[in-house]
Structure 1
Amino acid sequence: MNLVSIIGAIELGLVYSLLAFGTYISFRILNVADLTVDGSFVLGAAVSAMFAYSGMPVAGIALAVLCGGLAGMVTATLQTKMGIQPILSGILTMTGLYSINLMVMDGKANIPLLNKTNIFTYAEYMFNTKMYKILALLIIIGTVFAMLNWFFRTQLGLSIRATGDNEDMCRASSIDTDFIKMVGFSLSNAIVALSGALVAQMQQSADINMGSGMVVISFASIIIGSVIIKNKNITAGLLSVIIGSVIYRFIIALILTTSFPPSYLKLISSLVVVTALSLPNVKRKIEMNKLRKGRK
């Protein structure tokens, strides 16, 4: 790997760590695999791209976050008010968002942003270094990290964590778990949309199919990070997500330097997730077999 590939991997790892942040909230904290991610990621990219195309990149990012939060609220409403299963709720919202994203993009499958001003253009002027994208992303991620770390230690944040651990107990304690889920899923998809918004401006384009496989990518980042840093508390959990995302991108960059077909990358991502998820169970079975043999 050359220096350009390394910098590129770090940039992608950082920007996609926000995607993993959002998925971490639904998957680890609320204990639900929210498939809305594939749609809300593109929604954030679409909104951001359209505003950046019109010369308002900062407003585009702000509105992308808001739209992502609304998408999460729809998923939560389907679950809490309409009694639809969590996974199916995410699938329904994701499917509906495909058409909404096309509407946002004015019916176009791709929005090019070449020669258009974006927030990284401002960062280049501000930092005046080749590492301006990394510096800008570190500031954004550091801000989101600090806010989430603070939020999940507040009463509302602790209620979200408690709902994910034991929803029945929370209801028995007179906690409005429906409202808690609304907040949790809205926050989750708002951060996912922020990631999509930044990716669109960083790569100078938004595509209607760019959200394909985002759930698997975010799961891989979360699981790789949890192997390196044990999620004993919310701070360690969020930090592990960032590290896992960067490592995942380095793995992909290394694969691309070989003769391995790029079309197999999604298969590799799936295998990484399958391996990481199954390892604890495999270790447990091996230990049980050893104990059984020892008794004999």
Structure 2
Amino acid sequence: MFISMFGAVESGIIYAIMALGVYLSFRILDFPDLTVDGSFVTGGAVAAISIINGTDPVTATILGTIAGFVAGSITGVLHTKGKINPLLSGIIMMIALYSINLRIMGRPNLSLLNESTLFTQVEGFWKGTGFDQALNGMLKTLGSAQVPSTWAILIFMIFVSIFIKLLTDYFLKTEVGLAIRATGDNQKMIRSLSANTDTLIILGLGVSNAFVALSGALVAQYGGFADVGLGIGMIITGLASVIIGEALFGKRTIAITTIAVIGGAIIYRIVVTLALRVEFLETGDMKLITALLVVAALITPKIIKSHKEKKRRQQKRKELNSTVAEGG
């Protein structure tokens, strides 16, 4: 149980970067971008083929991120310059990326099990420093279980996700970031102030899909393979993380919302892991579980709000009846 929960937290932090990308497009830009399902695979495909061809894992990951930025920017161009509906622009790019990803990889999937990846390097550094032995010894003294072999990956990804979170917070507070936020709120208003909304949308979608592709590149290296079908339903996973995070932690400020999105991604993976331990559910039911989680996350806050509003009205009615009775 501990190992499975550890794995859920670990993968949740990696997918949190993808959720931050979805947050940028759906919440900040108010753009229903379905490019995510394709750009996630693009990041993994570019990183995987680069590593196989001898590229350093760090450079390969950066190349995957850049590929995602380009894919997102093209979606923005289709919408702004081609005047294509936002939803349709994302669908067109998602479909196109399926073939592009196949071209990049040369076949439906690539194995990285025998390659040096970013995570194998992190684990090698961790073991080389002796941190794992020291931590295991400390836990043994405390009577706790040994640290899983991938503990180094968790620590590494915590630092990476915090860096991406802080980078997102900073970007959204810059002049360009504020303009992108304003574009998502009211395009006509920001256009009246002589801002180039087309460029802002293209940039925003580029950054969003860069985060998604970065997550895809990390997932491919974490799992040891890149697959052309790896991104199917990824947009729902991202939305689930955003909605769950906002429902549980709130969205009062940008800083709170971004940490909520990361928390939502982790909780989502934990809930899915627990759900799959139920006897009548199978691995193939994962997408169904995701859909149900999104429905629950969307409906529950409304039910709670409606219940509170009903109680408030009942309280007011009681007070009014009490006042009338006293006056009579």
With the length of structure 2 as denominator, give the TM-score of the two structures. 0.85
- Which residue number corresponds to residue 10 of structure 2? 11
Q: How far, CA to CA, are the matches of 1:286 and 1:252 in structure 2? A: 28
d(CA) in 2 for partners of 1:43, 1:140: 20
Q: Is the 8 A contact 1:44 1:197 kept in 2?
A: yes
Structure index of larger Rg: 2
What is the RMSD computed on CA atoms of the aligned residues? 1.8
Q: What is the total number of aligned residue pairs between the two structures?
A: 294
Please tell me the residue identity of whatever aligns with 2:154: I
C-alpha displacement at 1:143, in angstroms? 1.6
- 1:276 is the counterpart of 2:292: no
CA distance in 1, matches of 2:90, 2:23: 15
- Secondary structure in structure 2 of the residue aligned to 1:152: helix
Secondary structure of the residue aligned to 1:111 is strand
Any idea what the Cα deviations from partners look like across 1:5-55, whole Å, max 9, x if unmatched? Answer: 122111110000011010000011111221000000000010011112223
Gaps of 5+ in 1: none
Q: Please give the secondary structure, in 2, of the residue aligned with 1:242.
A: helix
Indicate if the aligned counterparts of 1:51 and 1:60 stay in contact, CA closer than 8 A. yes
Aligned pairs for 1:125-164 (under 5 A) are 125-128=124-127, 129=132, 130=149, 131-164=151-184
Q: Give the distance between the partners of 2:226 and 2:5, measured in 1 at CA.
A: 24
Contact 2:21 2:212 in 1 (8 A): yes
Q: Is the 8 A contact 2:46 2:63 kept in 1?
A: yes
- Residue 60 of structure 2 corresponds to 60
Counterparts of residues 208-227 of structure 1 (less than 5 Å)? 208-227=228-247
Q: Which residue of 1 aligns with 2:104?
A: 104
Contact 2:238-2:265 within 8 A present in 1 as well = yes
One-letter code aligned to 2:11: L
Q: Given the alignment, which residue of 196, 203, 206 partners 1:186?
A: 206
* 1:232-243 correspondence runs (5 A): 232-243=252-263
**Which ranges in structure 2 are unaligned for 5 or more consecutive residues?**
133-148, 322-328
Q: Does 1:171 align with 2:191?
A: yes
User: Aligned partners of 1:6, 1:231: CA distance in 2, in Å?
Assistant: 26
Higher mean C-alpha displacement, 233-242 vs 285-294: 285-294
Once the two structures are superposed, residues 94-132 of structure 1 have per-residue CA deviations (whole angstroms, 9 ceiling, x without a partner) of 0000000000001x0010111210011111122223311
> In the TM superposition, what whole-angstrom CA distance separates every residue of 1:219-266 from its partner, at most 9, and x where no partner exists?
111111111211111111110011111111111111222212222221
Q: Distance in 2 between matches of 1:75 and 1:279?
A: 33
TM-score, length-scaled by structure 1: 0.94
Rounded Cα–Cα distance in structure 2 between residues aligned with 1:17 and 1:287 = 32
**Which 4+ stretches in 1 moved above 3 angstroms?**
279-296
Letter in 2 for 1:196: G
CA distance in 1, matches of 2:79, 2:300: 31
How many percent identity over aligned positions?
41
Answer yes or no: is the 8 Å Cα contact 1:45–1:199 preserved in 2: yes
The equivalent residue for 2:219 is 199
Alpha-carbon distance, 1:288 to partner: 6.3
For 2:32 and 2:265, how far apart are their aligned partners in 1? 18
Question: In structure 1, what is the equivalent of residue 47 of structure 2?
Answer: 48
Q: Is the 8 Å Cα contact of residues 247 and 301 (structure 2) preserved in structure 1?
A: no
Match of 1:74 in 2: 74
The separation in 2 between residues aligned to 1:239 and 1:142, in whole angstroms, is 9
Q: Is the 8 A contact 1:55 1:116 kept in 2?
A: no
Structure 1 match to 2:95: 95
Work out whether residues 109 and 227 of structure 2, in 8 Å CA contact, stay in contact via their aligned partners in 1: yes
Letter paired with 1:31? D
Equivalent residue runs for 1:246-257 within 5 Å: 246-257=266-277
Shift of 1:175: 1.1
Partners of 2:232 and 2:70 lie apart in 1 by 20
Q: Is the 8 A contact 1:22 1:190 kept in 2?
A: yes
Partner of 1:267: 288
